[in-house]
Amino acid sequence: MRIAKFDVPAEVLAEFIDAVCDKELNSTVVSRTEDEYNIEIDFDKDDVDKIDELEEELDTLIENIEEENDEEE
């Protein structure tokens, strides 16, 4: 069993967890701050592609909130 670690901004936590559930992976919130959650996902060697997809989805979610923040300024 392997573990992937993600730092997920609070603004996109729900969307990220939805993506984790869609991929049928198990996640654990390890710690949190006011703005961010540290999440660990257990996965097997066969699930590496799913983890790569999650990384891409998280990057997209973060880019979207950064764009929204830029537009508000």
pLDDT digits (tens, 9 = 90+) for 54-71: 999 999 999 998 888 777
CATH of domain 2-72: 3.30.70
Tell me the pLDDT tens digit for each residue of 13-68: 999 999 999 999 999 999 999 999 999 999 999 999 999 999 999 999 999 988 88
H or E stretch at 69: helix 48-72
CB atoms within 10 A of CB 59: 10
What is the average pLDDT across 4-16? Answer: 96
Instruction: Work out the pLDDT band at 73, boundaries 50, 70, 90.
Output: low
Contact 19, 35 (CB under 8 A): no
Cα separations in angstroms, 19 against 2, 48, 50, 61, 63:
19, 15, 10, 11, 16
